[in-house]
Structure 1
Amino acid sequence: MRYDRTVRLHADFSTTVTRVRDALAAQGFGVLTEIDVAATLKAKLGQDMEDYLILGACNPALAHRALEADRTIGLLLPCNVVVRTDGAETVVQALDPDTLVTLTERPELEPVAAEATHRLDAALASLT
């Protein structure tokens, strides 16, 4: 089962991060958290890796609807978006919102997942 929605870009990492933030904002998502995985692994373990950033994106209206359907869904929120370097490309990946429905087996989450999918797909498409 695929659980990601991915685009590959021929753009540098920092430019892509800015564009991803703007694309998410245009679709009603704010970034609640940011984890610089590369910097954390370097600081904590002395390990080097490629640029790798996790953005915790949240659309408040969708999050509210999901939480109204299932309070435990907070374990799967916010929607993680990864921006990472892969050779000469920068990869942008978002968790497929349908994963929420599959994991929880809660059909009442289907409309929320469908709207989140539409918005994330629009954000990703705007990057290409």
Structure 2
Amino acid sequence: MHLGYTTTLQTTFDDAVARTREALSDQGFGVLTEIDVKATLKTKLDEDMENYLILGACNPPLAHRALGIDRQIGLLLPCNVVVRDDTENSGTVIVEAMNPDIMVEVTDAPGLPDVAADAASKLKAAIAALQSTVSQ
């Protein structure tokens, strides 16, 4: 099983973040959390790294369905989406969305595979939308 779905964009980091937020929103996801890993590591450890942002994306109807099946599934929510600079290719940004099937791997709750499949479909669509957009 793959940990997630990935695409690369030839654009700036800020543009990739904005486009990712829009693609997620178009699929019914809101961003509940945002972790700026670069800033956090610099502040806490005085370590430098590339731009690296973790967006905690949530599709409320899907989250509600999953929590209705298994309350502990909240431990795996929200769906993380990473936007990060490609350290090997200047001007390239990598966007990765978690694979919701991971939820299915940790519980055998009936009905959860259907929710994971729906979430996967929406996250794949968001990644596909990023691949089809043209940088401004």
* TM-score of the aligned structures, taking structure 2 as reference length: 0.91
Instruction: Quote the residue 2:51 is aligned against.
Output: 51
Counterpart amino acid of 1:85? Answer: D
CA contact (8 A) 2:84 2:94 kept: yes
| Unmatched segments (≥5 aa) in structure 1 | none
CA distance in 2, matches of 1:122, 1:2: 17
Instruction: Quote the residue 1:81 is aligned against.
Output: 81
CA contact (8 A) 1:101 1:107 kept: no
Instruction: Quote the residue 2:66 is aligned against.
Output: 66
The reply to whether residue 95 of structure 1 matches residue 107 of structure 2 is: no
CA distance in 1, matches of 2:106, 2:124: 20
| Unmatched segments (≥5 aa) in structure 2 | 132-136
Instruction: Quote the residue 1:120 is aligned against.
Output: 123
* TM-score of the aligned structures, taking structure 1 as reference length: 0.97
The runs of at least 4 consecutive aligned structure 1 residues that moved more than 2 Å come to: none
**SS of residue paired to 2:130:** coil
Counterpart amino acid of 1:72? Answer: Q
The reply to whether residue 11 of structure 1 matches residue 11 of structure 2 is: yes
CA distance in 1, matches of 2:48, 2:128: 31
In the TM superposition, what is the alpha-carbon distance from 1:3 to its structure 2 partner? 1.1
Mean CA deviation greater in 34-43 or 87-96: 87-96
**SS of residue paired to 2:82:** strand
CA contact (8 A) 1:30 1:57 kept: yes
1:33-68 CA distance string (max 9 Å, x none): 000000000000000000000000000000000000
What is the Cα-based RMSD across aligned positions, in Å?
0.9
State the percentage of identical aligned residues.
Answer: 59
CA distance in 1, matches of 2:107, 2:95: 25
CA distance in 2, matches of 1:70, 1:124: 27
